[in-house]
Structure 1
Amino acid sequence: MILVVEGISASGKTTWCTKHGGQHVIPENGRFENEPDRLKDPAGAAAFWAERNVDRWQTALAMEDISSWALCDSDPLKLHYIWSLWQVGEASEHDWRIELDATRETIAQGRIGFADYYIIGSIEPQLARERAKADTTRRRSKFELHVRLQHALLTWYSAMNEVLPGKVRFGFPSEIPTLKSIDGRYAVAAFDQMIASLPRPTHTSSRDGAL
């Protein structure tokens, strides 16, 4: 079983994962020195992040194989990030489309897929700011951007919940819920259905206008 816990910075997801996952936790990716610049090389950035997502998924599969379950601190299938950036005008539709294509290919290849269950946290922006300010143990880069992305993040997983009913929970439970294996872990049709249901931005990105 693979369980994903997602939420913006300071929402409490890492704390929840640490408390309930122990050695089963697959941590978020750290910083990479060789990250392609999305502005200068969007195709290279799309391929790079698709592969980093695959790496985390494969780590989760290895943990699942060893101990029957894994808990991912943030979704290995992190396509929601570029979509959310597009929603708030921080990425172009072109950026979104090429990363979508790169990710879809990895799903079709069976190299990354849907988890068995998703727990999605949300938090009032002001409380998140207070938590982030009080936590001196972590450096939260682009924190205000993450606050802006929360609405889009919740929209993404609401769309997933429509396609995978019963597989998404909003709010952190007191204990790990009883999990059942997902049917169609690598179902491209379900992925396509979810993507087709997502809304377009209500505004035009400045980057779209520059293309």
Structure 2
Amino acid sequence: MIIVVEGISAAGKTTWCRQHASQNLIKESYPEKRPDRHADPIEAARLWTEWNSKRWSDALAMEQATGVAVCDTDPLKLHFSWALWQISEAPEAEWLANLEFAREAIQNRRLGFADRYLFKRIDSQVAQQQRDRDTARPRPNFDLHLQLHSSLTRWYVTIAEVMPGKLVWDLPQTLPPIEMTASPHRYDLTLFDRFIGLLPRAEQRP
């Protein structure tokens, strides 16, 4: 079983993961040198897909070893480029490049849908207070993450629409019950295409 824990920066994802899933955790991680999406958005999309695929592979290995993997942020992480496009922080072409690479990775079973999603919705003021208390962790993109909250929530609302019963709108006191059989929709391209088709288009942005 693969569980994804999501929410904006300072929502409490990492703290929850450490408290409830330290032995099964796939940590949020980044390449030592992050791809520059401004210099070469196509290459950046390819490199991010490779990195995200590695995290998915790590989750599969953890699941095989322990029965459950808990991912601090979604290995698919396609929501980030879509949300940037939604708030006009990235052009549509950049989103479409990420979409193309991610779809190919799902087709090749190098990325996929999780079996359960835990999403923490949080008021922006509360997030700011939690950010201020956590002095040990720098959050240079915190203001951007606040702007992304609405789009990020919309992404997972759509996940809930296409995968009923798979999303929990909170971080519970305990891990969800472990399902011994993986979802048959992990690599379902038809479901993926339906999901993408339900997301708001540019003309629907506020």
Q: TM above 0.5, one fold? A: yes
Q: Which amino acid aligns with 1:12?
A: G
Q: Which amino acid aligns with 2:24?
A: H
CA gap 1:7/1:62 in 2 versus in 1, 3 angstroms:
same
Please report how far the alpha carbon of residue 166 of structure 1 lies from its aligned counterpart in structure 2 after TM superposition: 0.6
Please report how far the alpha carbon of residue 148 of structure 1 lies from its aligned counterpart in structure 2 after TM superposition: 0.7
2:3 touches 2:117 (CA, 8 Å); kept in 1?
yes
Please report how far the alpha carbon of residue 203 of structure 1 lies from its aligned counterpart in structure 2 after TM superposition: 7.9
Q: Which amino acid aligns with 2:92?
A: E
CA gap 1:140/1:56 in 2 versus in 1, 3 angstroms:
same
Residue aligned with 1:133, SS: helix
Please report how far the alpha carbon of residue 31 of structure 1 lies from its aligned counterpart in structure 2 after TM superposition: 4.7
1:47 touches 1:102 (CA, 8 Å); kept in 2?
yes
Q: Which amino acid aligns with 1:87?
A: Q
Aligned positions of 1:92-111 closer than 5 A? 92-111=91-110
Q: Which amino acid aligns with 2:26?
A: I
Show structure 1 runs of 5+ residues with no match: 205-211
Q: Which amino acid aligns with 2:200?
A: P
Moved more, 176-185 or 88-97: 176-185
CA gap 1:31/1:110 in 2 versus in 1, 3 angstroms:
closer
Q: Which amino acid aligns with 2:3?
A: L
Please report how far the alpha carbon of residue 32 of structure 1 lies from its aligned counterpart in structure 2 after TM superposition: 2.4
Using the alignment, how far apart are the partners of 1:202 and 1:157 within structure 2?
20
User: TM-score, normalised to structure 2's length?
Assistant: 0.95
Q: Residue 18 of structure 2 aligns with which residue?
A: 18
Q: Residue 112 of structure 1 aligns with which residue?
A: 111
Q: Which amino acid aligns with 1:5?
A: V
Q: Residue 7 of structure 1 aligns with which residue?
A: 7
Q: In the comparison of the two structures, how many residue pairs are matched?
A: 203
Aligned positions of 1:1-211 closer than 5 A? 1-33=1-33, 35-180=34-179, 181-201=182-202
Please report how far the alpha carbon of residue 174 of structure 1 lies from its aligned counterpart in structure 2 after TM superposition: 1.4
User: TM-score, normalised to structure 1's length?
Assistant: 0.92
Using the alignment, how far apart are the partners of 2:120 and 2:63 within structure 1?
23
Show structure 2 runs of 5+ residues with no match: none
Q: Deviations over 1:38-92 (max 9, x none)?
A: 1221110010001111000000111111111110000000000000001111001
1:79 touches 1:100 (CA, 8 Å); kept in 2?
yes
Q: Which amino acid aligns with 1:26?
A: I
Using the alignment, how far apart are the partners of 1:32 and 1:157 within structure 2?
28
1:87 touches 1:202 (CA, 8 Å); kept in 2?
no
Please report how far the alpha carbon of residue 176 of structure 1 lies from its aligned counterpart in structure 2 after TM superposition: 1.2
Q: Percent identity at matched positions?
A: 45
Residue aligned with 1:64, SS: helix
Using the alignment, how far apart are the partners of 2:170 and 2:147 within structure 1?
19
The root-mean-square deviation of aligned C-alpha atoms, in Å, is 1.3
